[in-house]
């Protein structure tokens, strides 16, 4: 089974579009996503355009705030502060990575947790830890959705996650654990990676190393979710999994592109809609 992320994202987008219509009718405006884009990183520009296109298709209003590459920390915080207090702004996303002179941690924490559609502030990650989160990181949510298409009940399975970033590996471990999955996390200091990954009913590759996961890493019948996306100088996109080598061994596998990527964007829109719903509820 090839898990077609594009297809599932499209299904999700139809439901999101319907929600936007309802909110528009009820409150006279669409949910709004404000993206702060700093500098001219070409990959970031592509990602932001992709998000903008998806927002338009679904009916989410998207506004891009372009800041100069050399903008000061103070000015970025000032911009975020303005968006935090603007009642017409539902979601705020600061596109990463930031130029090296900026303090990324401080900028992430400056976002109002109620508008933090990336789910990366300490407040939202803390709530996730306590099992009462509303806004959660988009990529882990997308992975969970795809896994549920493979097996509706994941309880009792063993997942191995390769990667422990705050963006993907760590929050995904929490979500899997909440779904009663037994979780092992591997990272760059893990010894004998294949020994661990071979135990996995669910193998998540989220380390950013093209084709790191080959046939020898996969237990026959496993579900393999490839989060990695690396663009090589040739322009070709690679996942962390050697798709052709792993496909015959796995029961299910996500491709790159058109696997986890479209789901991440859809969950960004879902979080923006949720932020508006929660916001209007509390006013």
Active site residues: 51, 95, 118
Going through 132-201 in order, the beta strands assigned E by DSSP cover 158-162, 182-186
Q: Which is nearer to ligand NAP, 30 or 60 (CB)?
A: 60
Phi, psi dihedrals of residue 228, rounded to the nearest 5°: -60, 140
Window 178-207: residues binding ligand NAP (CB under 6 A)? 186-190, 193, 206-207
Stretch of 26-34, 125-133, 221-229, 242-250 lying at the interface with ligand NAP (CB under 6 A):
221-229
Query: Among 101, 121, 96, 102, which residue's Cα sits nearest to residue 111?
Result: 121
Token pair 């970025």 is at which residue?
76
Q: Are 37 and 48 in contact (CB under 8 A)?
A: yes
Query: Among 135, 185, 178, 147, which residue's Cα sits nearest to residue 163?
Result: 185
Phi, psi dihedrals of residue 133, rounded to the nearest 5°: -85, 150
Window 120-139: residues binding ligand NAP (CB under 6 A)? 139
Window 103-122: residues binding ligand NAP (CB under 6 A)? none
Token pair 């996650």 is at which residue?
161
Stretch of 59-67, 78-86, 223-231, 243-251 lying at the interface with ligand NAP (CB under 6 A):
223-231
Please report whether residue 216 would count as binding ligand NAP according to CB under 6 A.
no
Q: How far apart are CA 64 and CA 242, in angstroms?
A: 35
Site string for ligand NAP, 140-179 (x = CB under 6 A): ----------------------xxxx-xxx----------
Q: Which is nearer to ligand NAP, 112 or 254 (CB)?
A: 254
**Positions that interact with ligand NAP (CB under 6 A):** 139, 162-165, 167-169, 186-190, 193, 206-209, 212, 227-230, 260-261, 264
């Amino acid at each position: 089974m090839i898990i077609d992320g594009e297809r599932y994202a499209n299904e999700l987008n139809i439901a999101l579009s319907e929600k936007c219509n309802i909110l528009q009718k009820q409150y006279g405006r669409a949910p709004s996503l404000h993206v702060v884009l700093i500098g001219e990183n070409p990959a970031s520009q592509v990602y932001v355009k992709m998000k903008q296109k998806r927002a338009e298709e679904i009916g989410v209003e998207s506004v891009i705030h372009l800041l100069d590459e050399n903008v000061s920390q103070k000015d970025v915080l000032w911009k975020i502060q303005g968006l935090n207090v603007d009642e017409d702004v539902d979601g705020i996303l600061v596109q990463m990575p930031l130029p090296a002179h900026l303090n990324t941690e401080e900028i992430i924490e400056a976002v109002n947790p109620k508008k933090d559609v990336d789910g990366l502030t300490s407040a939202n990650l803390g709530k996730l830890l306590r099992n009462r989160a509303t806004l959660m990181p988009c990529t882990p949510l997308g992975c969970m959705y795809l896994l549920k298409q493979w097996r509706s009940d994941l309880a009792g399975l063993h997942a191995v996650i390769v990667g422990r970033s705050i963006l993907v590996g760590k929050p995904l471990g929490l979500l899997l654990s909440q779904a009663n999955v037994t979780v092992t996390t591997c990272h760059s200091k893990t010894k004998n990676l294949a020994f661990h990954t071979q135990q996995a009913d669910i193998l998540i590759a989220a380390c950013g190393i093209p084709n790191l996961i080959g046939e020898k890493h996969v237990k026959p019948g496993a579900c393999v979710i490839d989060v990695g996306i690396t663009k090589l100088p040739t322009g070709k996109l690679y996942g962390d999994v050697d798709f052709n080598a792993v496909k015959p061994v796995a029961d299910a596998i996500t491709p790159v592109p058109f696997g986890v990527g479209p789901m991440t964007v859809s969950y960004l829109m879902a979080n923006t809609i949720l932020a508006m719903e929660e916001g209007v509820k509390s006013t």
